[in-house]
Chains A and B, each alone.
Chain A
Amino acid sequence: MTNEELARKAAQIRLDTLVSTHKAGVGNIGACMSIIEILTTLYYGEIYGKKLLNFDVKNPDAENQDYFILSKVDAISSNYAVLADLGYFDKSELDFFTKDSALLTEFPNKKIPGISVSLSSGEQGLSVALGLALSLKNERKNNKVYCLIDYADLQKGDVYEALHFAANYKLDNLIVFIDYPKTEFEVSTEKLAKVDKIQDKFEAFSWKVFQVADAHNYDQLFEAIVKAHTIVRKPICLWCHTVAGKGIDFAEMKRGYINTVLSECELTHILPKFKQLI
Chain B
Amino acid sequence: MIEAFETGFVNLSKKYKNFVILHNDKIDLSLARNFSSFSFGISSKMPIYAALGFSIRKKLPFVICESKDLINSYAVLRNLVCEPNLNIKFIVFSKDDSDLKFLEVLPNLKIFTPDNYEDVQKITEKMIDFFGPVCLRIKY
Contacts and interface: CB of A to CB of B under 8 A. Distances in A.
Interface in B11-25: 20
A134 B50 contact: yes
A127 B56 contact: no
Given A127-B45, A165-B46, A139 B76 contact: no
B40 interface: yes
Interface stretch (A22-30, A117-125, A204-212, A240-248): A117-125
A158 interface: yes
A152 to B, nearest CB: 18
A216 B125 CA distance: 53
Given A135-B59, A138-B20, A161-B43, A117 B51 contact: no
A133 B57 CA distance: 10
Contacts of B45: 127, 158, 161
Contacts of B52: 117, 127-128, 131
A217 interface: no
Interface in A102-151: 109-111, 116-121, 124, 127-136, 138-139
Q: Which of A61, A111, A117, A119 has the most CB of B within 10 A?
A: A117
A35 interface: no
A105 B40 CA distance: 32
Interface residues of B, number: 25
Contacts of B36: 138
Contacts of B41: 165
A161 B76 CA distance: 14
Given A124-B76, A161-B46, A118 B83 contact: yes
Chain A: interface residue count, which band?
20 to 34
Contacts of A218: none
B79 A118 contact: yes
Contacts of A165: 40-41, 43, 46, 50
A128 B75 contact: no
- Is chain A's binding surface mostly helix, strand, loop or mixed? helix
Contacts of B84: 109-111, 118
A116 B49 CA distance: 13
A116 B86 CA distance: 12
A57 B51 CA distance: 25
Given A138-B36, A165-B40, A165-B43, A130 B53 contact: yes
Contacts of B50: 127, 130-131, 134, 165
A134 to B, nearest CB: 6
B56 A116 contact: yes
5 closest Cβ pairs, A-B complex: A131-B53, A127-B49, A131-B50, A132-B53, A120-B79
Given A131-B52, A134-B53, A138-B38, 18 more contacts: A117-B52, A119-B80, A120-B75, A120-B80, A121-B75, A124-B76, A128-B49, A128-B53, A128-B80, A129-B53, A132-B56, A132-B57, A134-B38, A135-B56, A135-B57, A138-B36, A165-B50, A169-B38
22 contacts: A116-B56, A117-B52, A117-B56, A119-B80, A124-B76, A127-B52, A128-B53, A130-B46, A130-B49, A131-B51, A131-B53, A132-B57, A133-B53, A134-B50, A135-B20, A135-B54, A139-B57, A158-B49, A161-B43, A162-B46, A165-B40, A165-B41
